[in-house]
């Protein structure tokens, strides 16, 4: 195998891995932010990640599993109920934003930040059949 063939194969494998990971491989390592930073007086910014199971983590958490996710029900309901598109022009790698008072919570996720917390039963079930 020649050097040119090796480089070509390496480039194709790297591209394939990025596609499989949704193009977000290593995003958090390339971003420049600090949790709780103050871009303006009285404003704090935090950065979060929502995984494919709807678990919420600080974006820079090394281990992302059940033991390190946020679990407080009132906080999660408050946080998720305020999610909107990030139209601030800041941090485009975080396409969603949850404003909580003077905090700007930037969010990136595997897919979409839709999380179902409970199912409502009743007449809706009959209409689905």
Instruction: Characterize 102-114 residue by residue with b for buried, 16 or more Cβ atoms within 10 angstroms of its Cβ, and e for exposed.
Output: eebbbbbbeeebe
**Which pLDDT score is estimated for 87?**
94
Q: How far is CA 73 from CA 6, 56, 103, 106, 120, in A?
A: 51, 12, 19, 20, 18
pLDDT tens sequence across 83-101: 999 999 999 999 999 998 9
pLDDT tens sequence across 33-60: 888 888 889 999 999 999 888 889 999 8
**Which pLDDT score is estimated for 6?**
42
* 22 has pLDDT over 80: no
Using CA atoms, how far apart are residues 16 and 9, in angstroms rounded to an integer? 10
């Amino acid at each position: 195998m020649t050097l040119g063939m090796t480089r070509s194969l390496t480039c194709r494998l790297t591209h394939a891995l990025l596609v499989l990971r949704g193009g977000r491989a290593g995003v958090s390592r390339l971003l420049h932010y600090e949790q709780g930073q103050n871009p303006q007086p009285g404003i704090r910014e935090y950065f979060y990640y929502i995984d494919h199971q709807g678990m919420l983590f600080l974006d820079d958490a090394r281990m992302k599993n059940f033991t390190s996710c946020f679990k407080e029900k009132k906080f999660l309901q408050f946080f998720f109920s305020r999610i909107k598109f990030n139209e601030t022009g800041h941090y485009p790698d975080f396409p969603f934003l949850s404003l909580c008072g003077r905090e700007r919570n930037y969010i990136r996720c595997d897919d979409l930040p839709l999380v179902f917390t409970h199912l409502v039963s009743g007449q809706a079930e009959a209409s689905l059949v």
